[in-house]
Every structure is written in C-alpha cells, then in structure tokens.
Amino acid sequence: MGTLSENVNKDRDGGYYAVKGFLYQFDMTIKTILLNPSQDVLFEQLQDISYENFIIQVKHKESQTYAHSKIRKPIVQLLDLHKEDESKKYRLHCYFKNTVSHKKNLSIKELNDILSVEKSNYTAQQKAKFLKCFELYYTEDFITQFDEVISLIESSYSLKDRQEAILHHAMIRSHLLQLSINKDKLQRMINKSNLDSYVIKARKLFFDSGYASYLGREKYERYLKKMYFTVDLNLLNLERLFIVDIYEDLHFSIIAKIMSKIIRKYKRLSKSPPPIFYLRKLSRERTNHFKQLVYDNGDKFNDGTFFDGDRFRIEKFKDDNDCLFKIINEKNLEEVLSANYINEIYHFYLSDYLEIDGAKDRITNIHLEDISQILNII
C-alpha cells in the first residue's frame, strides 16, 4: 500500500508527467502548424491533432519503458475511427524512455500482438485496410522536440536569436492553451495565418508594456507625446477617430477631461474637424448617460441620430462639422470606417487593442497603464 508520503510523492510525479505530456503535445501542435502553413490544424477534438487528411494521437511516456499494452488504447481508438472513415490517414506519435526516434510500419502479426485480447473485435480485412493508412512514429524526447520547435519559430519569424524565439514560444503555447479550453470545439483550430496575426499582436503588447516598464511612467508619457502628439501651428485638416478604452467605473468627469483635452488640441474652426470618439468597453447604458450629461451641459455633439432609438445616419454624421465632437458605438464603427473618410485613428488601450481590417496604415495603438495618462500625452 505504501506510506502516506510515498503516495503523495507518486501523485506529484504523476501530475508532473501529465503536465509535461500536455506540453509535449502542444509543441507537436506548434511544429505541425509551422510545417504546414496552408493547413487548418485542429487540436483537442476527436483526437490530439488533425490537419488536412491526418488524424494524430500523441503519447509522451518518458518515465516508462515500451510495452505493446501501452499503445493498445490509442491504436484501438484510431482503429475505431478508421471503421467510421476510411478516407483519412492515421498516426500515433509516442515516446518512451527506451525508444529512439524512427518510423515503424506494422505487420498484421505485430498489430495483433498489440491488440492482444481485442484483436478479435476487428476482421482481417479491417486490420489490413487500417495498416495501409496508419503510421507509427517513435518520436524524439521532450528536450529534442523543444529545441526543434524553438529553431522553427526562430526561422519562421526571422528572429534575431534563440532567447527571442523562446519568448515567442511562451506566447504561442499560452495562446494554444487558451484555445484548447474553449467549450466550443470549433474554436480549437488555428493555422499559420491566424498564428502570425496573434504573434504580431502579442509582440506589440509585450514590447509596449516592456518599454513602459523600462522607461518609467513619466519618460514613457513624454516619449508618446513627442512621438505622436507634438504638432506645430499648421495642424493638418484631417478626420481623426479616437478609440478610448473606458473601464466601467471610470468617473464621468475623467472621461470629460480626456475628451476636452483632445477636442482643444484637434478641433480648429474652419481648419480641423471635430474629433470622433468611440468609448470602447463602456456599456451602452453608461454611454447614453454620459451623452445626456453633455447635452444638459449645453454642449453640441453628433452621434449620427436625430433622437433616441433612431437608426445611425452616416450622411448626417459625416457632413456635420458644426459640433464640439462626434461619438459612435461599436455597432457604428464598421459603417464609419467603410465610408473611408477617416484619415487617422488612435486607439488608447489597457490590455488588448483593435485590429481593424483595411485600416492598418491609419491606426496607431498606444498602450497605457491608466487611461487618465492621456491627459499627460495630448
């Protein structure tokens, strides 16, 4: 039976190897994505990994020696899937501490030896057909595969060194974990193009937050002000959209100060039109409440409607410059951008920024620790 401490240690060891096996599978998924850039790669669905015409099971058993019984269950699972769909190709990737990396083509006898008591559950014809579209791979150990994946990431994203590739690996593996726990199985899928978009976004978030930490808050604010918001008297006559991430409990007075600072800088009579605001992440109820306060204060704004509940009218919104500012919501954002008259877009974000198709050359994403920092950089 063993002592209590022995049982606890066994549980700990089991958990360690289970997590390591999970990470091993993720690394194999990353490798599959990078080596098959045109394919959608599905994972944590019917089987561990599938893409194109392949269905793959992954078993990492670094603390165990090989025995037929240890690959029986995954092979039975693949055999059962083959009975349902003979058009697919099936693979088992497995690692044991006493195996070396190689591909193995099984004979009928070897398959029967692995199946043991379950061999009678399948006809000779079913087993013969299965072996024609089945491949058994004894794979490399955890570290060898990890090194291979790091090299692939380094070359795929033209990174300067291994350390940078390891940082990217951590970001990618974290992203796959988030996808894998999604209840909707259709979301457990990725391809190289999707991964590239995520890497670009994650790299920017990592760089911006790291740059802010490196410089310190005041220096970072001065850097942003000089880089993006220092203009001379000859302010260009451009339509500007300001997307501001507003957390729900931010006081209306702070929102008003932020908007006033932007309006004073960019609204110039007969020269520069009123700025457009999208208060991202602020609820519709609080946005409407804020607009009521502005209206009661006697300030004129344009939200593209004539009355509460009216539809958004792009022609009213676009051509009216006789107001202090314009304001839109998420629902109207696409229509405003589709009208293709916005020249500059600034997005002040705290945790995640918008990727707007067709506007990448017009948008500047600016990471802040606190949205009130806008008051120091405009």
- Min mean pLDDT across 3-17, 215-229, 266-280 is at 3-17
Question: How many domains is the chain built from?
Answer: 2
Q: Would you state the pLDDT for residue 14?
A: 53
113 phi, psi to nearest 5 deg: -60, -40
One domain, residues 170 and 242: no
Specify whether 299 is located in the same domain as 336.
yes
* Same-domain pairing of 194 and 266: no
Q: Is residue 112 situated within a structural domain?
A: yes
> For residue 140, is pLDDT > 60?
yes
Confidence at 9, pLDDT banded by 50, 70, 90: very low
Kindly state whether residue 153 falls inside one of the protein's structural domains: yes
pLDDT computed for residue 302 by the predictor: 94
Average pLDDT over residues 215-227: 84
Q: How far is Cα 331 from Cα 155, in angstroms, rounded to an integer? A: 40
State the pLDDT confidence band at 241, using cuts at 50, 70 and 90. Answer: very high
In a shared domain, residues 43 and 173: yes
Q: What's residue 5's pLDDT?
A: 47
pLDDT at residue 210 greater than cutoff 70:
no
The pair of structure tokens assigned to 93 is 């990737």
Residue 87 pLDDT more than 70? yes
Res 321: pLDDT? 87
Q: Are residues 238 and 197 in the same domain?
A: no
Statement to judge: residues 241 and 187 lie in one domain: no
Please tell me the least confidently modeled range out of 201-210, 227-236, 320-329. 201-210
One domain, residues 295 and 344: yes
Summarize the confidence of residues 280-303 as an average pLDDT. 93
138, 99 Cβ separation under 8 angstroms: yes
pLDDT of residue 284 exceeding 60, the answer is: yes
Residue 323 belongs to a domain: yes
How high is the pLDDT of residue 46? 58
The answer to the question of residue 219 being in a domain is: no
pLDDT of 324 strictly over 90? yes
Residue 333 domain flag: yes
Q: Does the structure show a pLDDT above 90 at 183?
A: no
Domain boundary among the residues 201, 219, 250 is at 201
The predicted-structure confidence for 51-73, as pLDDT tens digits, reads as follows: 778 888 899 888 899 999 999 99
pLDDT of residue 47 exceeding 80: no
Asked whether residue 4 carries a pLDDT value surpassing 60, the answer given is no
The lowest-confidence range among 40-49, 80-89, 139-148, 295-304 is 40-49
Does the pLDDT at position 266 exceed 70?
Answer: yes
What single DSSP character describes residue 364?
E
The mean pLDDT value for 75-102 works out to 92
- Averaged over 152-163, what is the pLDDT? 89
Place of tokens 């091993």: 24
* 160 or 113, higher pLDDT: 113
Whether 341 contacts 321, CB under 8 Å: no
What's 136-205 look like in SS3? Answer: EEECCCHHHHHHHHHHHHHHHCCCCCHHHHHHHHHHHHHHHHHHHCCCCHHHCEECHHHHHHHHHHHHHH
CA-wise closest residue to 144 among 232, 16, 28, 266:
28
Strands 189-190 and 41-43: antiparallel
pLDDT on residue 2: 54
195 plus 338 within the same structural domain: no
Which of 20-24, 130-134, 205-209, 363-367 is modeled with the greatest confidence? 130-134
Q: Which domain holds residue 320?
A: 229-377
Q: How large is the average pLDDT for residues 124-135?
A: 94
pLDDT tens readout for residues 352-374: 877 787 777 788 888 888 999 99
Question: Does residue 3 surpass a pLDDT of 60?
Answer: no
Q: Are 294 and 326 a contacting pair, CB within 8 Å? A: no
- Within 10 angstroms of residue 9's Cβ, the number of other Cβ atoms is 12
Q: What is the pLDDT of residue 92?
A: 93
Average pLDDT, whole number, for the chain?
Answer: 87
pLDDT greater at residue 269 or residue 66: 66
Which residue matches tokens 């960019």? 266
Whether the predicted pLDDT of 213 surpasses 80:
no
Query: Do 236 and 117 fall within a single domain?
Result: no
Q: How big is the CA angle at 314 (ends 312 and 319), to the nearest 5 degrees?
A: 130
